[in-house]
Amino acid sequence: MTQLFGLIGHPVGHSLSPAMHNDAFKRLGIDAHYQAFDIDPAQFSTAIQGLKALGIKGFNVTIPYKVDIMEHLDEIDPLAQAIGAVNTVCNVEGRYVGYNTDGEGYVKSLLQVVNERELSAKHVLIIGAGGAAKAIFYTLASQTEKPKGIYLANRTVQRADALIGACPIEVEAEAVSLLHAKELLQEVDIVINTTSVGMHPNIDEEPLDLQRVQEGAIVSDIIYNPLETKWLKNADQAGAVPHNGVGMFIMQGALAFEKWTGRAPDKKAMEAIVLKHLNHKK
CA distances from 35 to 7, 58, 77, 169 (A): 6, 11, 24, 36
The answer to whether the annotation marks 67 as part of a ligand binding site is no
Among candidate residues 217, 8, 260, 222, the one with its CA nearest the CA of residue 105: 222
132 in a labelled binding site? yes
155 annotated as belonging to a binding site for a ligand: yes
Cα-to-chain-centroid distance, residue 259: 16
What does the longest C-alpha to C-alpha distance in the chain come to? Answer: 58
Q: Please give the C-alpha separations between residue 146 and each of 59, 143, 245, in angstroms, as whole numbers.
A: 30, 5, 21
49 known ligand binder: no
156 in a labelled binding site: yes
Q: Is 17 annotated as a binding residue?
A: yes
Residue 252 is assigned to a ligand binding site: yes
Whether 66 is a known active-site residue: answer: yes
Residue 279 annotated as part of some ligand binding site: no
Q: Do the annotations mark residue 129 as ligand-binding?
A: yes
Please indicate if the annotation marks 27 as binding a ligand.
Answer: no
127 φ, ψ (degrees, to nearest 5)? -100, 120
Cβ contacts of 8 within 8 Å, gap of 6 or more: 37, 39, 47, 48, 51, 59, 60, 61, 62, 65, 69
Q: Which helix (H) or strand (E) holds 98?
A: strand 95-99
| H/E segment holding residue 187 | none
Q: Is residue 163 marked as binding?
A: no
Query: Active-site residue among 26, 52, 57, 66?
Result: 66
Q: Is 50 annotated as a binding residue?
A: no
Cα dihedral 208/211/217/223 (nearest 10): 30
Annotated binding-site members: 15-17, 62, 87, 102, 128-132, 154-159, 222, 224, 245, 252
Catalytically active residues, by annotation: 66
| Binding-site residue ranges for NADP(+) | 128-132, 154-159, 222, 245
Task: List binding-site positions for shikimate.
Answer: 15-17, 62, 87, 102, 224, 252
